[in-house]
Structure 1
Amino acid sequence: MHLSNFDAAIIDLDGTMVDTLGDFVVALNCMLDGLELRQVAAEAVATMVGKGSEHLIHSVLRHVRDGRAADNALFDEAWRRYQHHYLAINGRHSDVYPGVVEGLTVLRAHGLRLACLTNKPTAFARPLLAAKGLDGYFDVVFGGDAFERKKPDPLPLVKTCEALASAPERTLMVGDSSNDARAARAAGCPVVLVSYGYNHGEPVRGVDADGFVDSLAELGRVLDS
């Protein structure tokens, strides 16, 4: 792979550009406090993120209730509380990973159009990118509620390629998990994964991908080598 082979790139958000685990933990524990349920540890949350907020809340409720799934009423109340708390603290307990700005700058300098595609709700993703000074790098931003299905389904990548006016084979996917890789493979996009993300608690180098980087700042070197 070489940067000249690409017209665009699609970048994941949580675990790829921003370490948002702290935001998740604070919002979830505020939610659980309001529901009079025990709190959840960061180590557990790290294995649950990446498949959208609905999946995250269901997983956390099952975890703190000793394997019992939440009924619709409990989930709806939990979702309402989670949205309230997350929007209130969005970005306050998160940090941009080292090398992200450098990596995005390199991609833009090579003329690539950029999209942020995340399973995070759009109403959470846009303010977070703005708060971290990353919003200006992206031509389009799509959250997990932008399309009928979320990653690892290929639909979000296919639709994002259409929005970027870029063929899938000329659109690089950059993510941190098997969700990103599976979606990219199914959509026909080459995929590079970062080594430091969440990946549901599993070793990321065991995932089928075209390459791995320890920092987005390495993208230019890796793709030009």
Structure 2
Amino acid sequence: MHSTHSPALHSALKGKRLIAFDLDGTLIDSVPDLAAAVAGSLNELGLRQPSELEVRDWVGNGVPMLVERALTWALKAAPEPELQERAYNAFMAHYGAAPNTLTTLYPGVQHTLKALHTYGLTLVLITNKPERFIEPLLSHFKLLEYFTLWIGGDSLAEKKPHPLPLLHAAKVCQMSPAECVMIGDSRHDIAAGKAAGFTTLALPYGYNHGEPIDESDPDQVLTSLTELLMTAPQVTRTV
């Protein structure tokens, strides 16, 4: 007999059929491009621009909230609706022109998604990023083929932390919440997962408004996505 090694799934995935992933801060580090778009839009309005580090703490609730936080920071006051709309339109133009110039995949993402997909698990993407940016980014990083469904922050009537996007994904894929997992880097992902009845797995390296992710009480914190794949020995008999 001799022993070989092949990947086995993490125990948290036992009995699961669908895995929902967040995008920004989970699969990709998009803050550099988001920060550049924020800076470009504020510069266009004659306002001071924040650092990339400051923008990192504003990401997670979708573009309208990102723009509002940036304006509030620049003005040191709540923005008027007209200025908010101008800034939003400017941001969408800047970000749309260069959504992946500085954005990078986190280590192990491609390998992990490919392996999970090969196992026959249904993978979906649930992000608060506007839907129009999802497919170009997935295509750019060659991840498109792994996902059955993707849902943006403007795809449905509600976005995370509301459970609607997660429940919608489960329904479309004909899965029960008990068969589903939500993986993300922020309290919004964990709150949405809990409200939807999904198992929640958290990553500590993304964008969570400066808060430790374990304070959101996920079912488990992973150090990286590659933890989903565990190497298990297989004993084979030779004659």
- Per-residue CA deviation, residues 171-215 of structure 1 (Å, 9 max, x unaligned), is 111100110000000000001011111111111122211111121
The structure whose residues are more often helix, as a share, is: 1
| Residue in 2 that maps onto 1:39 | 49
| Residue in 2 that maps onto 1:149 | 158
Identity of aligned residues (%): 36
| Residue in 2 that maps onto 1:111 | 120
Structure 1 residue 220 displacement after superposition: 2.3
| Residue in 2 that maps onto 1:96 | 105
1:121 to 2:157 alignment: no
For residue 201 of structure 1, give the secondary structure of its aligned residue in structure 2: coil
| Residue in 1 that maps onto 2:199 | 190
For residue 104 of structure 1, give the secondary structure of its aligned residue in structure 2: helix
For residue 174 of structure 1, give the secondary structure of its aligned residue in structure 2: strand
Q: Which runs of 5+ in 2 are unaligned?
A: 1-10, 232-239
1:65 to 2:75 alignment: yes
Structure 1 residue 101 displacement after superposition: 1.1
| Residue in 1 that maps onto 2:34 | 24
CA distance in 2, matches of 1:81, 1:130: 24
Which 10-residue stretch deviates more, 2-11 or 78-87?
Answer: 2-11
| Residue in 2 that maps onto 1:137 | 146
Structure 1 residue 2 displacement after superposition: 4.2
Regions of 4+ moved over 3 Å: none
Structure 1 residue 39 displacement after superposition: 0.5
1:56 to 2:69 alignment: no
TM-score (norm. length: structure 1) = 0.95
- Per-residue CA deviation, residues 57-113 of structure 1 (Å, 9 max, x unaligned), is 0011001111x1111110111111111000101111110000111221222122111
For residue 136 of structure 1, give the secondary structure of its aligned residue in structure 2: helix
Retained in 2: the 8 A contact 1:158–1:187? Answer: yes
Letter in 2 for 1:137: Y
CA distance in 1, matches of 2:19, 2:199: 10
Q: If you compute each CA radius of gyration, which structure gives the higher value, 1 or 2?
A: 2
